[in-house]
Structure 1
Amino acid sequence: MSCPDCFSGNVHAGSPRGEVIKLHGLDAYVTEPEGEAKGIIVIIPDAFGWEFVNNRILADHYAAKGGYRVYLPDFMKGNAAPVWSIATLGAVMKTGSLMDWVVKPYHVLRAVYAMVPFMYRNRPVKSWPIVKGFFAALRKNEGAALPVGAAGFCWGGKHTVFLAQGVEVDGKPLINAGFTGHPSMLEIPGDIEKITIPVSFAMGELDSAVKLPQIKQIESVLAQKEGAGEVKIYYGAGHGFCVRADVMVKDVERQALEAEDQAIEWFKRHFAEVSS
C-alpha cells in the first residue's frame, strides 16, 4: 500500500495561522485568504495527517497565494502515522557506521510499529467512504456556490484521483479540479483511464512509489483524454518533495515551491472556467 519513503522526509519550522473547527463530522484545520474566497481547496494529506505542521503550513500558503479557503480535515480519524516515524525511517536508512547497523533492528521494529497500523486503518476501502462523504456534504453546503478543488499528497493522491473520476452529488461533481503531488497506491493505467475531471500531477523523477516508466504511462493516458490533466516531472526529486522537502537543500526547496505554484495556477485556471 505504501513505501518507506511515504514515511520519510523533513519536518518544517513555522507557526500555522488557521484554526481548528468541526466540519461535516470531522475535525478540520481551516485557513482563510485575505479577502473574499475565490474557491475552496481541500487538502487530502500524506501519511502524517491533518495535524502535521508541514501540511498546515501548506494550507496557509494555498490560502495566501491563491486566495482560497483551505480545509485540511482529519480523514484518518486520529490514525495518522506518528511524526516520530520520520526520524525512525531516517535511522533505518543510515549505514555510515557500525553502530548504525547495530541499532538498525530496533529502528526497523519501530518503523513497522508505525507503518503497519497506519496502512491497515487507512486502507482505501475504509478511507474512501469518509473522503467521499465529506466532499458530498461540502458540495451541498460551503461549496454550493463556490468551485471546489482537491489537493492530495501521497496517501491523499489516490483519493484525489477517485474524486476526479466524476463522482457527483445532486447532479454536481464533488470537485471541479484536482491536484496531486507524488501520489501513492495508484493502479496504473486503470485509475488514470477513469479520470473525467482535470487533474494536475506533480511527480518526482526519483519517486519510489510511482516510478518514471509509470509516470510516462500517466502522461500517455492523459494525452489521449482532452482536458483530462497534465503531468509535470521534477527531475532529481523523490517521493514526498511537495510536503516534506529538506528546505536546507536549495533545489529541493525550489521544486517544492514550484509545485505549490503549479497547484495554485491549476486551480486558478479551472476555477475561472466554473465562474465564467
Structure 2
Amino acid sequence: MSSNPPGSCCYKGVEHEGNSVGRVETVSDFEVYITEAKDKSKENGILILTDVIGHRFGNAQLIADSFAANGYFVFMPDLFYGDAIKMNRPDDFDIMKWLQGEYNEKKTAHTPPVVDPIVEKSIKEMREKHGVKKIGAVGYCFGAKYVVRFLKPGQIDVGYSAHPSFVEDAELEAIKGPFAISAAETDSIFPAEKRHHSEEILKKTGQPYQINLYSGVEHGFAVRGDPKNRVVQYAKESAFLQAVQWFEEHIK
C-alpha cells in the first residue's frame, strides 16, 4: 500500500472557530455542502472528499468556503450516508468496524462499492447540472483514496491530498493527472517509508506531482490541527496555499 489504513488519529483534533456560508442540498440519495465563488462562476470546480468526520464538520466547511473565496465552485458530498464519525471518539471505538458498517443501523459499509457511486454522481452533478468544465479534487485522509481512484480524463482533472490513508499502489499507479500531497512529519498512516514509496510510484506515472513535508505536525493537521499552536497553524495555512497554487497552475 502507498499509505496505511485509517487509525484513531483520523478522527481526533480541534474544532475551529468561524461560520460557514454555504448551503446543504440533497443530490440523488446523499447530502452535499455547496459553496460558491463571489462572482458565481462555475467554470472551475473543487470536489472535496472529506476525512471520516464528514461534510457537516465545521472545519471542513470553512475550508470549502476558503476554496470558494479563491474563485472556485465547491462541492463537498456526504460520503457516509449520515454515518460520519464524531470527532474525538473514545479509544474503544473501532474504525475498522465502522468501515464495514457495523455501527450504523443499515449496516452500510464505507468501502469503494458504496463510496465510488457517490463520487461518480458528484462529478456528474458538477459537470452536467452546474456546467463545471474542470474539476480539481481535494482529499483529506479517507477522501484521498477516492481522489486517486478518480484522477483520470472525464472525471477528476487535478488532484491534491493531505495526510492520505488507505491508498493502494495500483490506484496511485493508475492516475492520469497532476497530483500533489501535503504530508505530516509524524504520521503512522503515511510515514516516511510510505511517502518515499509513493514518490517512486509518482515518478513512474509521468504525471506532474508535488510532495510537501511539514515539520512539527501530525496526521490530520490540515483539517483538525490546533490553531493556537503556531507551528500547526502555519502548516495548516501553508498546506491550503499549496493546494490553491497547485490548482491555479493546473486548472486555471
Give the TM-score normalised by the residue count of structure 1. Answer: 0.81
Q: Any idea what SS the aligned residue of 1:77 has?
A: coil
Which of the residues 203, 220, 226 maps onto 2:183?
A: 203
Aligned to 1:59: 64
| Equivalent residue letter for 1:161 | V
Choose the corresponding residue for 2:123, options 110, 129, 135: 135
Once the two structures are superposed, the pairs formed by residues 115-194 of structure 1 within 5 Å of their partners are 115-116=95-96, 118-120=98-100, 121-143=109-131, 145-164=132-151, 166=152, 173-187=154-168, 189-194=169-174
> What is the letter of the counterpart of residue 147 of structure 2?
T
Q: Which structure 2 residues correspond to residues 3-14 of structure 1 after superposition, within 5 A?
A: 3-14=7-18
The correspondence for 1:227, drawn from 193, 201, 207, is 207
Structure 2 partner of 1:108: 91
CA deviation map 1:37-71 (0-9, x unaligned): 3511011000000100000011011111x211111
TM-score normalised over the length of structure 2: 0.88
Please list every run of 5 or more consecutive structure 2 residues that lacks an aligned counterpart in the other structure.
101-108
* Alignment length (residue pairs): 239
SS of 1:205's partner is: strand
Q: Check if 1:27 corresponds to 2:8.
A: no
CA distance in 1: counterparts of 2:13 and 2:174, whole angstroms: 31
Equivalence for 1:249? 229
Unaligned residue ranges in structure 1 (runs of 5+): 89-106, 167-171
CA distance in 2, matches of 1:246, 1:108: 20
Task: Call closer, same or farther: CA 1:81–1:40 in 2, change over 3 Å.
Answer: same
Higher RCO structure (Cα 8 Å, ≥6 apart): 2
Which piece of structure 1 moves more, 243-252 or 190-199? 190-199
Equivalent pair of 1:24/1:137 in contact (CA under 8 Å): no
Deviation, 1:134, is: 2.3
Tell whether 2:216 aligns with 1:236.
yes
Q: Post-superposition shift, 1:116?
A: 4.8
Aligned amino acid, residue 157 of structure 1: A
Contact 1:80 1:118 in 2 (8 A): no
| Aligned mates of 2:34, 2:247 — CA distance in 1 | 18
Amino acid at match of 1:153: Y
* Partner of residue 72, structure 1: 76
CA deviation string 1:67-118 (max 9, x = no partner): 11111111211110123xx1x4xxxxxxxxxxxxxxxxxx433x23xx3553
What's the RMSD between the two structures over aligned residues? 1.8
Tell me the alpha carbon deviations over residues 183-203 of structure 1, each in whole angstroms, 9 at most, x when there is no partner: 11112x332211111111111
Q: Residue type matched to 2:113 in 1?
A: V
Alpha carbons 2:77, 2:118 under 8 Å: kept = no
